[in-house]
Structure 1
Amino acid sequence: MKNSICKAVLLCLGVFSLTTAKAQKHKKPNVLLIYTDDHRFSGIHALGGQPVKTPNIDALANTGMVFTEAHLMGAFSGATCMPSRAMLNSGKQLFHLTDIGHVLPKTDVTIGEAFKQGGYNTYMVGKWHQDRGSLARSFDDGASVMGIGVYLTDHYRMPIWDWDKTGKFPKKDAYLLTYDEQGKTKRRAITKNDKRGPTGTELTGPHTSEIFAENASKYIKNYKKRDPFFMYLAFHAPHDPRQAPKKYQDMYPVNEMELTPSYMSQHPFDNGDMYLRDEELAAWPRTPQVSKKELSAYYAIITHLDAQIGKVVQSLKDKGEYENTIIVLVGDSGLAVGNHGLMGKQNVYEEDGIHVPLIFSGGYVKQKGTRYNALSYIHDIYPTVCDMAGISIPKSVEGKSLKPVMDGAKKQVYNYGYYAYKQFQRAYRKGDYKLIEYVKSPNNDWKRGYSVKGSRVTQLFNIKKDPWETQNLAFFPEHKALLKEMQEEFVKAGKDLDDYKQGIGVEYDFWDYYN
């Protein structure tokens, strides 16, 4: 009798173990999607080799997969992070966005919605740059939402909202996090005396990167649902103002900063949009001292951001969820910070505007330290993560999954790259070469009260030999045939991608002055 009972118990335990193992084997992975702001590819040490300290992101890159040719397709707004985020969340390409990316219509199934439909609990922390309706329908819950209303241009005095399941997020509900006399964090309402900054310091209140990382870590620590989670963690750093605690600022003495190969005191010509907020952040000309100061602050806020990302990754490990999590890290745009005499990201140069880091890591990713040079866009991330997690890709998504590249089935999913900035700039990338075309209308300066002649400028770079785009080959006779071929393919690509069907609210069309 005893033997029969023992056998029965052992049989039950065996079945239970087998069932548990089977359940673990088929459990869908968690997804942590980390979006950084104005973070160029070379703003990660392991990727660009620049003297910026990013040990935690380096670890993600070295234990995961890096797509070294990931790009923002472009923008029809000086606030390039808006269309960038629209493309990531909708999977739509630039020329098919609604309202230059501010509105995500209900016909566009967002990445959050896709994972909700796939059985995930979806959570959002940080910056949102689209309409409130798309925010509410994309996530089950969230914390510390910013970017949907009042903005004080200050990482230490950032208006934030608690999650509002109604999706209204009224202005009156925004608050600041500050320190009291004992150094404890407290909330306070925003008043008319709260002017735009930056005026905050690490003594004023917690930095946005700290706030967002703490809330993300808290969610992971307290997560008890059986369903996997999808977290959209959107940091505001390293977007200006380039503020960081003194500890991080001291890591980058201004006089010891190394300028990049593309440093210039000023851009060699008017690229069409030279007089806007980002370019007013530093004095003209961009002397070495001016650019070193900005670069020092840029690296400091990146290193501080890296430390916060490390805390979030550690929370996954502490919870025992790291091995079953896909971590995606991507920047929303590049940033010049002195490159080519520019400060902002309103251009189609690589590091200055469109080249972004794209890392797939976490314990669930088995390809360790792999680099792929496949051309890709930010809007390809959506279908790729769906493919990796076994989630159905909605029909509204236009991006291409990069999983065939990861699996070794393909080396490229695109034959070329195509990029745009407003009505002023277009770029075409194929093989080792990149073509950039600029146009200005005769009345390009109408907003400043005077008129100038229209113009057109052409640049051709060998990206493989000259990744910082310092040597324009367009006027060399030996490149005449290549230039002509690239220009013909460029025009065809514009038609194929519906660049001729803008209706985006600009005063003229690029092609009006190119053709």
Structure 2
Amino acid sequence: MNYKLLLLLLVFVPKVWAQQPNVVLIYTDDHRYSGIHALGGQAVETPNMDKLSEEGVVFDNAYLMGSFAGATCIPSRAMLLSGRPLFHLKGAGHKIPKEHTTIAEAFHDAGYHSHIVGKWHQDKASVSRAFDSGGQVMGLGAYLVDHYRMPLWQWNDQGKYPKSDAYLISYDKKQNRVKESFTAEKRERGPFGTEENGPHTSEIFAEDAIDFIENYKEENPFFMYLAFHAPHDPRQAPKRFKKKYPEDKIELPPSYMPQHPFDNGHMYLRDEALAAWPRTKEVSQKELSDYYAIITHLDEQIGKVIASLKASGQYENTIIVLAGDSGLAVGNHGLMGKQNVYDEDGLHIPLIIGGGAIKQPQRKSALCYTHDIYPTICDLAKVKIPASVKGKSLLPVINNQKEQIRDYTYHAYRQFQRAYRKGDYKLIEYVRAPDFTKKDGHSVRGSRVTQLFHVKNDPWETQDLSFFPEHQERIKQMQSEMIKVAQKEEDYKEKVEYGFDFWDYYHSALIVK
């Protein structure tokens, strides 16, 4: 054995690693594009995210491809973590199989230390397989729907997360933080806690991330996945943040409506039950006030994480990626949730690539998806992209070699909705099952609805152009193209894999248009 060569390698390899940037991938929950002031210009205060966008690369046209589950955060995370489009996930994205190499595994294989803090919505085996270490994680089988009383686990390298090991973090009589066992008795005390009960999830996860950054002493760079639960409902924030947004002063966006103009196929589900029908101005103002408050609180926590990178001397060699998992309606088009294919209401996400390792601020209009983030980060960090990844890297756009990596975007929500965007226009198609009579004699009438929006001039999608004569040829052309795109994206696999059948309904002669 050539011991001199071995010694040289041992000395040289850490230096090579040290030249590669750390990566902090921050993923927020139900955080629409306009939920960052610098991006959407809305009256939400996000100074830390604004600064990240001003110093980094902003992608103004980043979108979630869609979902086959009402909990859109499940496929969204699966797409982010696997780099695979909606139609190439396992099922609806609950499980990431071993053959779908996660982004954390790709960085681990490249010599990085991979670490997780926060929300995990996939299977327990994959979270332990993907990371070398972790802080506190949530979403693994016990869920109180509460930012102040959220069941947590310490990351486990064996993938064992029994409910008996879950705990809550609360305050004792002296206002010290203590861990309480998450038992049936505790669950009965469940939602809703306040800042007097314990720390907010955003605070817990940010402090966990800061602890990792401050104590990281290894030679090789790190990849950290920091997944916040905010601004997911219940939209809770400390009182000082809520006071920033008096409800009667909230200005509603252009797409506010008291009620959606027709049945989109999935009008009655958990998210839509969060507020009363119709969505009066006061109801929507209250919800939007809460939304802005929890986002501003989240922004403060993200600022603390960035400050810790600077204080530790690691900021200049760190790429920070900030993205949201979906849009959110909060009163737009009469909706509250994200189970739709409108932009701000369901699909349009913030995507910022910043940090000290990004030297040239830019704002890009390139069309891209959530699953394009994975290969882009790999290319920026010079990490090999696994064969299982099907997203497209945005590095050519960042390097000004290309303006676009995609000519269109295509979107799906369950068996009810499809959308196709090309150029300045976006086509949305809705179907409900053909006419049938239930066993109780109740008749269900099928329907099909078409919408067309000029999204460049009408980004809030307020003016449906589908019934104007001058747009009929355009609609026919886009419908024809959408069918071909659906085949290319393998949307027709859905009936076999998911049991859904949008296309059977769409083509059915029984549907009343």
Q: Secondary structure at the match of 1:149?
A: coil
C-alpha displacement of 1:175:
0.2
Distance 1:120 1:423 in 2: 40
Tell me which residue corresponds to 2:134. 142
2:125 counterpart (111, 128, 133): 133
* 2:230 pairs with 1:214: no
Q: Which residue of 1 aligns with 2:102?
A: 110
Q: Which residue of 2 aligns with 1:267?
A: 260
Partner of 1:16: none
Distance 1:107-1:222 versus aligned 2 partners, 3 A rule: same
Is contact 2:414–2:500 with CA below 8 Å preserved after alignment? Answer: no
Task: Report if the CA contact (8 A) 1:109-1:396 is conserved.
Answer: yes
Aligned positions of 1:105-504 closer than 5 A: 105-193=97-185, 194-195=187-188, 197-368=190-361, 370-442=362-434, 450-503=442-495
Counterpart in the other structure of 2:510 = none
Aligned residues: 495
1:12 corresponds to: none
Question: 1:446 offset after TM fit, Å?
Answer: 6.2
- Over 3 Å counting, the alpha-carbon distance change for 1:410 and 1:446 in structure 2 is farther
User: Which amino acid counterpart does residue 372 of structure 2 have in structure 1?
Assistant: D
Distance 1:359 1:484, change over 3 A: same
TM-score (norm 2): 0.94
Of 44, 48, 52 in structure 2, the residue corresponding to residue 52 of structure 1 is 44
Q: Does the 8 A contact of 1:152 with 1:195 survive in 2?
A: no
Q: How far did residue 26 of structure 1 move? A: 6.7
Which range is displaced more, 358-367 or 193-202?
Answer: 193-202
RMSD (Å) for aligned C-alpha atoms: 1.7
Deviation of the 1:484 alpha carbon: 1.2
CA distance in 1, matches of 2:486, 2:249: 44
Identity fraction in percent: 63
How far apart are residue 503 of structure 1 and its match? Answer: 3.9
Aligned residue for 2:27?
A: 35
| Alignment partner, residue 11 of structure 1 | none
* 2:83 is the alignment partner of 1:91: yes
Distance 1:136-1:474 versus aligned 2 partners, 3 A rule: same
8 Å CA contact 1:152–1:196 kept in 2: the answer is: no
Q: Deviations over 1:205-249 (max 9, x none)?
A: 000000000000000000100000000000000000000000000
CA distance in structure 1 between the aligned counterparts of 2:30 and 2:440, rounded to whole angstroms: 28
Residue 100 (structure 1) aligned with residue 109 (structure 2): no
Distance change (3 Å), C-alpha of 1:157 and 1:409? same
Per the alignment, do residues 24 and 415 of structure 1 end up closer, same or farther by CA in structure 2, a change over 3 Å counting? same
CA deviations on 1:183-213 (whole Å, 9 max, x unpaired) are: 1100011122223743200000000000000
Q: Does the CA-based 8 Å contact 1:143-1:163 persist in structure 2?
A: yes
Q: Distance in 1 between matches of 2:373 and 2:443?
A: 42
- What secondary structure sits across from 2:153 in the alignment? coil
CA distance in 2, matches of 1:61, 1:381: 16
Shift in Å, 1:481? 1.4
**Preserved contact between residue 154 and residue 241 of structure 1 (Cα < 8 Å):** yes
Return the TM-score normalized by structure 1.
0.94
Structure 2, gaps ≥5 residues long: 1-10, 508-513
The 1-side partners of 2:146 and 2:36 are apart by 23
CA distance in 2 between partners of 1:40 and 1:49 (Å): 12
In the TM superposition, residue 451 of structure 1 has moved relative to its aligned partner by 3.5
Q: Distance in 1 between matches of 2:188 and 2:135?
A: 24
Q: Which amino acid aligns with 1:198?
A: P
- C-alpha contact (below 8 Å) 1:459/1:472 kept by paired residues: yes
Contact 1:198 1:241 in 2 (8 A): no
